Each structure stands twice: as C-alpha cells, then as structure tokens.
C-alpha cells in the first residue's frame, strides 16, 4: 500500500501509487511533467495532473510542461495544430502555421531538402561576396568600431578581435575561418512591472524590448525562450533550460538578454527580478554565478555541476546583452560571495567564449527610452543582422 499524491489525479498512469490491482500503471517514456490544460470542465486540475513530457524539453505549445510553474507561461496553439521543429535534433514541439522549421513529421524530409538548396545558394552568394570584398580592399576590415548608447563615448576596439555572433557563423578573427554554430538559442528576461513596495519603478519598454528582440532572433533561426516580468526562480529555470538545450553540442551559440533594473557589486551584475527589492541583495539574480558555471561547461566536471554530466559542450559561444543600469549597489544586507570556478587543470581545449555587451558605462544608469524602445534596443534592432565588431 502507498499514498496517492493529492496534487495529481488519483490513479494517474504516471504515478507509482495506483489502485489496488495496478491496472492503470504505465511508466513515462520521456520523464514526468504537468498537464497545463487540465481535465475538461475541472479548471482546478490545470497544472496539477501529471503527464509524460515529450522529448524531455517540451515547448510552450505542448500541454505537458516540465514543472507546474511552467503553466504560467503556457500558450496553446491558437489553431490546435501541433507539429515538430525540423531544424532541431530532438524535433521539439511547435505550432503549425508559424512558418520556418515547424512542419508535420512527414514533411521534415522536404524541409531538409529546402535547407540543402539554400545552403548551396548561400555558398554561391558567399563566393561572389568574397570576390567583391577582395576588390574593395582588405583595409576596410581594419576599421573596427562599436557605438554603444546614444551620446556615449565611441570605443576603439582593435584590441578585441571578436565579432558579435548573431548569424549562422562567427568570425572570431578575419585571419581565421568562420565558426559555424550547430544550434542557436536565445534566452530573454525582462521586467517592466515590479512590486509596489520593492523600491523599483516600473519600466515602460523592458517587456516590449524583449518582445521585439525575440521576433528578430526567431526570424534568424534562433530557438527562443522568453520570460516577461521574470521572477528570481524563473531566471534560474531559464538558464537550466538553455543548458539542457545545448547539452552535447559543439559550437552552439547562446544569446542571453536582460532588460530591467540592475546594480553592480565589484563589477558583477545583479539583475532585479520582479520579486526583488532594492535593499535586499539576496533577492537579486547574481549573473556571475551562472557565467562562472558556463565557463566550465566544456569539462566533464563542469557539465556534471550543470546537470548534463555525460554531455559536455565544446566551443560554446555565450553573448550577454545587458540593457540595464550599472549603478553601485546599496543593499542593507550582505550578498554571498560568488562561487569560484572549478578551475579544472589541463582542460583548455574546447573552452567556451563569453562576451558581455553593456548598454552603459560602469556606475552609470541606462535609459528606458521615451518611444517604443530603449536607445540600446533601437541600435540593436538596426544592426543585429550585420557583423558587429566588439
């Protein structure tokens, strides 16, 4: 005998505790999740009934999510037709009609043929473009500038040879071949509405900035995960989800965007989540805790710390876009010291690349903007499809 979990439907086939005859027990093939639609006519069952998670990491268009909290962002397909993402290895669930790589299972072969034809066409175009560039002259390649924030200083970045990787490949240095990315993933956090008594003002453009960037990145082939008005717990969940997405990949590209209030301690970003309070350091998201973990993702020990023990990630590219203030922190309480990196000896091969693009200088505020977007987002949308030297 055992107790039936009260949070799940009694006698659910995915619960080990069953009616006495065990007649309805069927184990999950891909892990257990939570049914975001619930049982018909019983709204209180939404997010409580357990079900099998498809592919281990379901999309927002799959009624079975990984955790009950995911149901807060669950968006069913408006037309009820669910397909598969032909561009991903696991062929994750997506809505038919969205275009791009979302097809019926049997149509994925045609998608692969289309991509092959486009690859040939792009190769021809690339050769032609290379000949044109050669005619223009190599001198143009030496002009590397980055304009950050309207009215901010112009920075000569000849010392840094990395180009912002927003497309199919990254040119780390023009003397070397481009690096092609096996998978492109974007994680977008934003917060416009803070707690009334939290000490942070509302931001008119934070969520809309993230929406605009998400649409741009989706059109460029990124798989996007967005958390508007993100809580501290959702930020942790978002990073964990992205790590699962790139597990075992070689040269994946991950873009992490944040728009909202933030402060800095010793040069380390502390993002203000929806449930953060301005005087409580423990309620903020310490970005350095995750960047230090990600810098060891190429090692087995680092991968194990991230929950992907047998699937280290080789040559990963992480680009953080920080559309937030960098004012000094003024916390009433102390903040835990950042975790130290594992520093695995002798494992320099396949180490990740990590870049941070800021909207403002150290110790300065960032502008939310008077129009539809912040100055940082307006500039980003204008230039995101172009190579951007850092």
Q: Is residue 165 part of a domain?
A: no
Task: Please report the pLDDT score of residue 321 as a whole number.
Answer: 95
Helices 206-219 and 375-383: angle between axes, nearest 10 degrees: 10
Q: Is residue 118 part of a domain?
A: no
Nearest alpha-carbon partner for 254 in 313, 307, 192: 313
Q: Note down the domain range covering 205.
A: 183-382
Q: Is residue 390 part of a domain?
A: no
Task: Please report the pLDDT score of residue 347 as a whole number.
Answer: 60
Q: Contact at 8 Å (CB) between 377 and 341?
A: no
Beta bridge partners of 236: none
Q: How many domains does the chain have?
A: 1
CA 79/CA 88 separation, integer angstroms:
23
CA 273/CA 190 separation, integer angstroms:
8
Which residue has tokens 């149901």?
71
Domain of 230, CATH number, reads: 3.40.50.1460
Q: Is residue 176 part of a domain?
A: no
CA 142/CA 131 separation, integer angstroms:
18
Task: Please report the pLDDT score of residue 54 as a whole number.
Answer: 72
Residues 6+ apart with CB under 8 A from 65: 33, 34, 36, 47, 53, 58, 71, 74
Task: Please report the pLDDT score of residue 277 as a whole number.
Answer: 92
Task: Please report the pLDDT score of residue 336 as a whole number.
Answer: 62
280, exposed or middle or buried, with CB in 10 Å at 0-12, 13-18, 19+?
middle
Largest CA distance in the chain: 80
Nearest alpha-carbon partner for 359 in 327, 317, 318, 316: 327
Task: Please report the pLDDT score of residue 170 as a whole number.
Answer: 54
Task: Please report the pLDDT score of residue 313 as a whole number.
Answer: 93
Task: Please report the pLDDT score of residue 272 as a whole number.
Answer: 95
Q: Is residue 22 part of a domain?
A: no
Task: Please report the pLDDT score of residue 309 as a whole number.
Answer: 81
Q: Is residue 307 part of a domain?
A: yes
Predicted TM-score (pTM) of this structure = 0.56
Q: Is residue 354 part of a domain?
A: yes
Task: Please report the pLDDT score of residue 166 as a whole number.
Answer: 45
Residues 6+ apart with CB under 8 A from 75: 60, 61
Q: Is residue 93 part of a domain?
A: no
CA 376/CA 52 separation, integer angstroms:
41
Give SS3 for 249: coil
Where the chain has pLDDT below 50, the residues are 8, 138-168, 175-176, 346, 390
């Amino acid at each position: 005998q055992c107790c039936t979990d009260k949070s799940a439907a009694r006698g659910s086939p995915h619960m080990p505790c069953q009616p006495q005859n065990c007649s309805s027990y069927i184990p999950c093939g891909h892990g257990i999740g939570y049914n975001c639609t619930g049982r018909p006519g019983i709204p209180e069952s939404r997010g409580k009934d357990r079900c099998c998670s498809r592919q281990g990491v379901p999309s927002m268009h799959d009624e079975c999510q990984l955790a009950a909290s995911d149901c807060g962002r669950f968006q069913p397909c408006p037309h009820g037709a669910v397909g598969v993402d032909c561009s991903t290895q696991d062929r994750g669930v997506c809505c038919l009609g969205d275009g791009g790589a979302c097809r019926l299972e049997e149509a994925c072969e045609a998608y692969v043929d289309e991509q092959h034809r486009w690859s040939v066409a792009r190769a021809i175009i690339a050769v032609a473009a290379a000949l044109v560039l050669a005619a223009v002259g190599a001198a143009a390649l030496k002009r590397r500038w980055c304009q950050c924030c309207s009215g901010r200083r112009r920075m000569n970045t000849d010392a840094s040879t990395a180009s912002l990787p927003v497309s199919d490949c990254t040119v780390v240095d023009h003397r070397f071949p481009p690096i092609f990315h096996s998978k492109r993933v974007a994680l977008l956090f934003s917060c416009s509405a803070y707690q009334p008594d939290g000490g942070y003002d509302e931001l008119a453009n934070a969520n809309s900035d993230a929406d605009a960037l998400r649409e741009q990145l989706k059109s460029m082939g990124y798989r996007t995960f967005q958390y508007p008005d993100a809580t501290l717990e959702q930020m942790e969940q978002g990073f964990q989800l992205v790590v699962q997405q790139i597990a075992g990949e070689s040269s994946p590209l991950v873009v992490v965007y944040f728009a909202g209030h933030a402060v800095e301690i010793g040069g380390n970003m502390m993002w203000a989540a929806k449930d953060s309070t301005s005087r409580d350091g423990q309620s903020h998201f310490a970005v350095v805790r995750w960047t230090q973990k990600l810098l060891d993702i190429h090692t087995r020990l680092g991968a194990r710390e991230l929950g992907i023990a047998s699937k280290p990630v080789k040559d990963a590219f992480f680009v953080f876009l920080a559309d937030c203030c960098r004012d000094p922190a003024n916390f009433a309480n102390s903040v835990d010291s950042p975790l130290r990196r594992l520093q695995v000896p002798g494992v320099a091969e396949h180490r990740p690349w990590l870049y941070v693009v800021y909207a403002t200088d150290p110790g300065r505020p960032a502008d939310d903007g008077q129009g539809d977007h912040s100055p940082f987002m307006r500039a980003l949308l204008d230039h995101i499809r172009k190579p951007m030297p850092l």
